[in-house]
Structure 1
Amino acid sequence: MEKIMVGRGMLTDGAVWLGDEGGMARLRVPVTGGGLDVTWLKERDERYLVFSLEAEAEHSVPVNLLVYSSREESGEPVFGIRFGVLPQILTGICVDLTWLDAHALFPETCPGQLKIVCQGRRVDREEISRIVLASLPMDEETELKLSELTLTDTRPGEFPLPDVKLVDELGQNKRKEWGSKLHSIGEMKEMLERQAGEADMGYPYEDWTEYGGWKKKKLAEGTGFFTRCKEDGRWWLVDPLGYAFFSVGPDCVVARSDCRVDGVEKWMDWLPDREDPVYGRMYELHEKWPPVGEARRKCTLFSFEQANLYRAFGEEWYEEWKRMLPGQLRKYGMNTLGNWSDDRLLGTTGMPYVTSLPRFPGTEQNIFRDFPDVFSEEYRLDAEECAKAMQAKSRDPWMVGYFLRNEPAWAFVDNLVIADEVLYNPARTVCKERLVESLKAEYQTIEALNGAWNSSFEEFEDLYESQAHVSQWSERAGRDMHAFSRKMMEEYVGIPSRACRKADPDHMNLGMRWAWVSDPDVVTGWENFDVFSINCYAYDPTAAIQNIVDLGVDLPVLIGEFHFGALDAGPSSTGLKGVASQYDRGLAYKYYCQRAAAHPYGVGCHYFQCYDQFVLGRFDGENYNIGLFDICSQPYPEMMEAVKACGADLYEVAAGEKMPAEEKAERTAMIAF
């Protein structure tokens, strides 16, 4: 173990040395971001980089460990580890340097720390040209305090947490005031009782069908199920009655346990005993977190949403909420329950919904991250098993369709050639056997392969040894690897799609909800879908939708996630797109949705998410002010009035009868992880 003092000589451009205070280095970083040059890490063999960090800010602060490569001509980092810290809280940080091999996307955090995400490709030590520990760009200069940096092979125990209170008895941010903040249980109960009385008002627009479709545009005779239609170059979804349907609504319409409390219990004004006969039922263990690596602590979640509803309605809280929440969504002009909504709402509330496979098929041996061994019989059989879950709702007319999965972790690496990972992975997978067989058939002799690939194998059997970056060896090697990657994608998409179609022939396959199209090969197999889905965090989705079209996909495009957050209410982070205020959140929502509707391939956009995230972080550490509703089930009034205004002429915009909204929100820096 070695401790390295932070000094003036480590500062990146723009960072200002403010001195040393009680063993903590103080520095001011500019609005463009900044921090320390720690390139010396590439020469060290220790596994962990450990330090403490405090940000003197009114909001959470995201920090990156950025890795640059001598092989990257653009000068952009090829890998980054991003994490967040709460404002004005001394936070212990432990970075596992084995993450640089890109095996983990969302590692486990230390108590008190916000989310960690590892993005980029695998990095070899010898290619590293620079490593920087730096804050992200923000809207103001920020003072950071850092302890000495410790390099060690032993993971540290728990870091001490300061004795402060950060969460009030209702689960709200205790250190912030805003106009709609509630200050007592009585005030919250009165608000919820008033909302419950307004729950059965229906859609606010006379020209909407019972499904939320548009009575002014009949596209076909109703089939009794949702379907799709292309008319004059414009894609539409079609409701069960045959009317045009544009899908809008929030993801995660569920009052669930998602406030992570293990290790930070002391920061809350109120937290019930886990054996409490009433509130003890509102705890849950997330046994599958973290998704990769050993769990260092038990991910314990509590539901302040449920607790608050119980305080208002008693034992009947769930039935009241089940009636109230969908009713409020209809009242404000939303017609879809988005992904991950409460299963008990689906098909029982008179509101259309989307769903997803409870589990995407997998194999015991993966190729890279969560990409399975798709040519194996194991994958086919598991796909058939997973698809059985679709049978239960196969006759439900309220289901718009189903997603196969959400944001595959392997596709978070830009320009990933998945066939490269087949040859890099030392396991003798069925995919590797198929690849070697195809190369034997193509080249016949190892000499011919070596000539084409600029390689020096003695026999084809050598390909079963781990090989790195094969697609970069020669132009021909690149073509071969991309071609086999597309074959893998055909199996990856086609096998579960066919299994689901067999289990449920009447509902639409809504695709994979790609985080983004990280490589053109990703769209391979789109013909298996009825709708192509992406998650698109942007202020305007037009370019992302058009990119799908330009890649040759002739399908309606549904956006599965987008959001906007501000710092004037609730939690201390904006989420992936920041705006100046709650009013601006509403402006941004209307601008986004109407731009999606104006595109001839856009057929819907689902807002992420229904509720704010917990001020101390959900299961993975996200703590964003992104909800339509706060943690007390109270709608943000500025946001919801904009939602209602958006829906009033959404169909006219989609039909080309009106122009989309022009007024833009005031944008701010992203405070997210």
Structure 2
Amino acid sequence: MRRWRWVLMLVGSGLPLFLQADEQTLFSFVRPLDVVQVSTEDAWFPELTAETTPEGAILRRLSFNNAAQPTLSLEPQDGVWDWTGQRTMTLRLRNAMEWDLTLHVRIESGDGQALEARIGLPTGPTQTLAVPLQATSPQAWGMRAGPPMPWSQGGRRLLVATQVQGEISLDRVRAVKVYLRNPDVPQHILLGQFGVSASDELVTAYQGLVDGYGQYTRRAWGDKINADSQLRRLLDNASAALDSWNRQLPERDRFGGLRGGARFEATGFFRTEKQAERWYLVTPDGHPFFSLGVNAVSRQHSQTYVQGREVMFQSLPAPHEPLALFYGQGDSRTGVMATRERQFAHGRWFDFYSANRYRAQAEQACERHEPCAPCRTRQSLPDAERRDETACLVLRTQAVNALWPEQTLARLQAWGFNTLGNWSDAELHEQPRMPYVLPLSIAGDYASIPTGHDWWGAMPDPFDPRFAMAAERAVAIAARGRREDPWLIGYFVDNELPWVAPGDTPQARYALAYNTLRQTTDVPAKRAFLKQLRDRHRNQQGLAAAWGIELPAWELMEDPGFEAPLPDPAHPAIEDDLRRFLALYADTYFRTVAEALAWHAPNHLLLGGRFSIATPEALAACARYCDVLSLNTYTRAPQQGQDFTALHALNRPVLIAEFSFGSRDRGPFWPGPLEVPGETARGAAYAHFLERALQEPVIVGLHWFQYLDQPVTGRLLDGENGHVGLVAITDVPFDGFVDAVRRANLRLLRRWLPPAERTAP
């Protein structure tokens, strides 16, 4: 490791500095304007002179060596910097590599505090890095991911750090450090002016992000809407293609089961069957059914909060305008991890999706009906005497909404889908046209156990009698009026429960057991665990010997905060006891739900727990009590991250209840859990996922997440703002992606159809 200190004291560059009126340059790497101590660690300046970039900027090259953390440090020559009143640190720079770099910036103050920012530095022209001098994140602006960087503003290319952690004392800034982490090969950047600014570049970065159609303003793409006439034309084109696509679908029964191949016994309801080592879903009419579904087919997830952050929106309707009908009020503050750090989570919201549908279809919807009373009244009056149009606008909105179920179902079926996935609108279920699934969200005042992976909340305590009551109530409500519905495939139970903690350590694997023992004895799960240990080891002497610990009294285990030992090969009973408790926990949970379903909904399938993470014990218990194992997996192929050998051994069919691929080139800033380079790659990734799913005989369905793109500025629930939809916020399908999805769906159905001789008629 080599450390160099440079004292550069040239003055008066005479070069253009790209300064804002309120920007103060502290140092220039080309011709310094002030005395600053420059030091490097595993980094160096290879040239004594500056170089000119293709766009004409004059910058100085800095080389980072292949080391753990090559660093450039900037410090005042004497004392500290007083940045009181400043809002942003700025650094003029350019990536000199042919690939993007991940740059880290650390700003330190004399009291030991620091701000940390991690910035993606893309290739391309020279830009100004702007680091806010206070902690911030996209969640602080109400969304999962912030706007793409860099962006052009006032002739400058700005790279604003939208994620900054920590704090500093602005009157005692003692150092700024710029570094890389573990570069594989030497990396180079070019540097210009370093300084501070009183301008809040962070606020500027979030201004005017969304246009009147709910689209991102700083990027163009195919089918981006610029006028109502264009919106109507594209929607008409999308509808016109459906007839042709419908003619390409394979022959199906009324539920979407495939004809022309194997037949199964018809029972009047969906069920599962295993034949020749392959699992099948079977329709009520006895045909094989591979569930190709879409989650959240809904008009209810497109609203976004506007109150308090109106600066983000270029055009919101005034109170007297027709589109003001699409404002509403909400409150999404829940306290769960998914929303804990999020701001702008309540107040006034606007629904861009419904507003766009109104723009495109209000006239058409109105023309389908006889003139309503307000219309007739206005038609009989001179313009100057026409009455308030609110009543007519409401009726027009209702007419547009009435068109949505038919239009949406027609799209999905023409695209090769046959299932309405989780969280889809109830009005779609009421039409006997497409099979559907329902969620069982078991809510109540029962005890819960945290594991550290509690994104949607802690684990429900199934030993609590109140949990059994809540499960009974949830099933009874969900099954009301649906007991004899043949279109209902079945029910999922809860969603992505935290069966383990993050990481691959024993503490993470057995987090549920360890955290249960840390509880007080008024928590039923802890009492169940202690009973299980006492039944096996009889007393504290037996447990102490088995675990290799000192335990003078059994009562010590009853104390809150008790820490069980980590697994130890010398004492195998530790891990065995942890596993036994996890098995008991999962068994109690799934058995409680299965018993409630057997009573209230005996005709329908229990589709499992929508695992995003799971223990072997949880999967085994789910297989024991559920008809189907459901997995939420965000990987390139179903096999990645899943042990299908173990899944085969459980002897239950598997449904991939969520998967998707997102990108950042169609508006929303977050690509979802799994990013691909662009829109074309989304279609290729979808086709590959289906191709790999065909290789697993236990897989009986795949459900895409989700129908509609999330709002650019975040959905109400938790601020997610992902480009993961089949359809844009404008209601226009993503044409190339949808066509790739449709072709992949049809290819899967044709190849998957079992031949007639494999099953009895």
Deviation at 1:409, TM superposition (A): 3.5
Of residues 410, 413, 422, the one that matches 2:502 is 413
SS of the counterpart of 1:311? helix
Matching residue of 1:378: 466
Amino acid at match of 1:171: G
8 A contact 1:15–1:27 mirrored in 2 = no
CA shift, 1:236, in A, is 0.5
In structure 2, give the amino acid aligned to 1:541.
P
Q: Structure 2, unaligned stretches of length 5 or more?
A: 1-36, 43-63, 76-85, 132-142, 150-158, 168-178, 363-395, 756-761
1:400 matched to which residue of 2?
489
Which amino acid is the alignment partner of residue 693 of structure 2? A
After superposition, the C-alpha distances for 1:128-169 in whole angstroms (9 at most, x for unaligned) are xxxx998999xx999999999xxxxxxxxx985547321111
Pick the aligned partner of 1:443 from 528, 537, 562.
Answer: 537
- The 1:206/1:566 distance shift into structure 2, 3 A limit, reads same
Checking the alignment, whether the CA contact within 8 Å between 1:355 and 1:401 is kept in structure 2 is: yes
Structure 2 match to 1:491: 588
Q: Conserved in 1, the CA contact under 8 Å of 2:493 and 2:607?
A: yes
1:518-544 deviation per Cα after TM superposition (whole angstroms, max 9, x unaligned): 555444342111110001111111355
Letter in 2 for 1:442: R
CA distance in 2, matches of 1:450, 1:459: 10
Q: Closer, same or farther in 2 for the Cα pair 1:512/1:8, shift >3 Å?
A: farther
Q: Does 1:344 align with 2:433?
A: no
Task: Specify which of 303, 309, 314 is matched with residue 269 of structure 1.
Answer: 314
SS at match of 1:235: strand
Correspondence 1:49-128 to 2 at 5 A: 84-88=145-149, 90=160, 93=163
Return the offset for 1:238.
0.7
Superposed displacement of residue 318, structure 1: 1.0
Conservation of the 8 A alpha-carbon contact between 1:247 and 1:606: yes
TM-score using structure 1 length: 0.76
Partner of 1:468: 563
CA–CA distance in structure 2, aligned partners of residues 551 and 424 of structure 1: 35
1:248-647 equivalent positions in 2, closer than 5 A: 248-256=292-300, 257-272=302-317, 279-292=324-337, 297-300=344-347, 301-314=349-362, 315=396, 316-348=399-431, 350-360=433-443, 363-366=446-449, 368=451, 369=454, 370-392=458-480, 393-411=482-500, 413-414=502-503, 415-417=508-510, 418-426=512-520, 428-465=522-559, 466-472=561-567, 474-517=571-614, 521-543=618-640, 546-547=643-644, 549-550=646-647, 552-619=649-716, 620-647=718-745
- CA RMSD across the alignment: 4.2
Q: Report the counterpart of residue 186 of structure 1 in structure 2.
A: 229
Of 456-465 and 426-435, the range deviating more from structure 2:
426-435
Counterpart CA distance in 2 for 1:410 and 1:390 is: 25
Mapping 1:121-270, distance limit 5 Å: 160=203, 162=205, 164-196=207-239, 202=246, 204-256=248-300, 257-270=302-315
Listed one character per residue, the Cα deviations across residues 200-241 of structure 1 (whole Å, up to 9, x for unaligned) are: 775632422222211023432322211111111100111111
CA deviations on 1:272-297 (whole Å, 9 max, x unpaired) are 35797753444341434442559754
| C-alpha separation in 2, matches of 1:433 and 1:344 | 44
Partner SS, residue 452 of structure 1: helix
Deviations 1:76-119 (A, max 9, x none): xxxxxx9743223746657699xxxxxxxxxxxxxxxxxxxxxx
Q: Displacement, 1:462?
A: 0.7
* Alpha-carbon spacing, 1:246–1:18, altered in 2? closer, same or farther (3 Å): farther
Whether the 8 Å contact between 1:15 and 1:28 is mirrored in structure 2 is no
**Separation (CA, whole Å) in 2 of partners of 1:561 and 1:6:** 51
- Where 2:256 maps in the other structure, the secondary structure is coil
Q: Cα distance, 1:567 vs. partner?
A: 3.5
Tell me if structure 2 keeps the 8 A contact 1:532–1:555.
Answer: yes
Equivalent-residue separation in structure 1 for 2:359 and 2:266 (angstroms)? 44
Equivalent pairs counted in the alignment come to 585
Tell which structure's C-alpha radius of gyration is larger. Answer: 2
Cα displacement (A) at 1:628: 0.9
- Per the normalisation by structure 2, the TM-score is 0.68
Amino acid across the alignment from 1:165: G
CA distance in 2, matches of 1:513, 1:6: 54
On the 8 A contact 1:323/1:349 being kept in 2, the answer is no
Contact 1:428 1:464 in 2 (8 A): no
Match of 1:661 in 2: none
Q: Greater CA deviation, 432-441 or 302-311?
A: 432-441
| Shift of residue 486, structure 1, vs aligned partner | 0.9
